[in-house]
Chain A
Amino acid sequence: MIRVAVQSGPIDVPAELDIHDGGGHGASASFVGRVRGEDDLVELFLDHHPVLTEKGLAELAHSATDRWKLSALTVIHRVGAMAVGDTIVLVLASSPHRAEALAATEFLIDRLKTDVMLWKRQTFADGRVEWVEARGSDRKRSERWDEGLR
């Protein structure tokens, strides 16, 4: 029912949806995060911890199933080198009715950005290489869930 993966190969979104949706759930919500081609980006590299990144994703998935009645949950994060347009992250959440699936999907992507050991590095066409700085706006979105909103 819960599928969590950290992988260096491409995320096959249609195939993952087929696996996830095999049970025919009442409501399924999805979030697909892709590499944006801003500022002549040529590569996005995701650094990760060989053990703790997947463990963190699994803990996050379990906190979602503790919080909402979910019939299936898939969280897949890609790591390593990616090109513009590649899928970085896929969240699929299913429940009997839409509210739980939609809320769980938003919770997972918000928390993923602040709680899981992943670090983005950007390489641009002019040769610049920059580690992405954590954003206060992401922190605020993540902290909303502490207060039990929704």
Chain B
Amino acid sequence: MRIAYFAWVRERMGIADESVDLPANIANVAALVGWLAARDARGAHAFADPARVRAAVDGVMGGPDAAIGSAEEVALFPPVTGG
């Protein structure tokens, strides 16, 4: 699965995207964010406050409960600020 990061989430992770092999029990966005936060110091910094993180699963905006099962790309980012 490809994980893409944007805005300050990308800066804190130090990379724009990566491919990961997730454990079978990581089934939704909240679990993915928790897994990344526990994986290393960069993840802990980027995802210290999961409430500040939004997600898009294969292009569809989703909340913490959104399933990521067979997704090709999960994007993680702060609340959007365009316009």
Binding site for B on A (CB under 8 A): 33, 46-49, 51-52, 55, 77, 88-89, 109, 112-121, 131-134, 138
Query: Is A112's CB under 8 angstroms from B83's CB?
Result: yes
- Quick check: which of B18-26, B41-49, B72-80 contacts chain A, the rest being far away? B72-80
Query: Is B7's CB under 8 angstroms from A116's CB?
Result: no
Judged by a CB distance under 8 angstroms, whether B35 is at the interface is no
Chain B neighbourhood of A117, CB < 8 A: 6, 56, 75, 77, 80, 82
**If the complex has contacts A52-B59, A55-B59, A113-B83, are A131 and B77 also in contact, measured as CB distance less than 8 A?**
no
Query: Is B59's CB under 8 angstroms from A113's CB?
Result: no
Binding site for A on B (CB under 8 A): 4, 6-8, 10, 56, 59, 61, 75, 77-83
B10 → chain A, closest Cβ, in Å?
Answer: 8
Query: Is A132's CB under 8 angstroms from B81's CB?
Result: yes
Query: Is A115's CB under 8 angstroms from B7's CB?
Result: no
Chain A neighbourhood of B78, CB < 8 A: 119, 131, 134
Query: Is A120's CB under 8 angstroms from B59's CB?
Result: no
**If the complex has contacts A119-B7, A119-B77, are A52 and B82 also in contact, measured as CB distance less than 8 A?**
no
- A-B contacts counted at CB < 8 A amount to 65
- Complex Cα gap A77–B7 (Å): 17
**A/B interface sample: 18 pairs, CB < 8 A:** A47-B10, A48-B82, A49-B4, A52-B75, A77-B82, A88-B83, A89-B83, A109-B83, A112-B82, A114-B80, A116-B80, A116-B82, A116-B83, A117-B56, A117-B80, A131-B8, A133-B81, A134-B79
- Complex Cα gap A62–B72 (Å): 25
- Measured CB to CB, the nearest residue on chain B to A132 is B81
B77 → chain A, closest Cβ, in Å?
Answer: 7
Chain B neighbourhood of A116, CB < 8 A: 80, 82-83
Query: Is B81's CB under 8 angstroms from A120's CB?
Result: yes
- Complex Cα gap A56–B51 (Å): 22
Chain B neighbourhood of A51, CB < 8 A: 59
Query: Is B7's CB under 8 angstroms from A89's CB?
Result: no
Query: Is B83's CB under 8 angstroms from A118's CB?
Result: yes
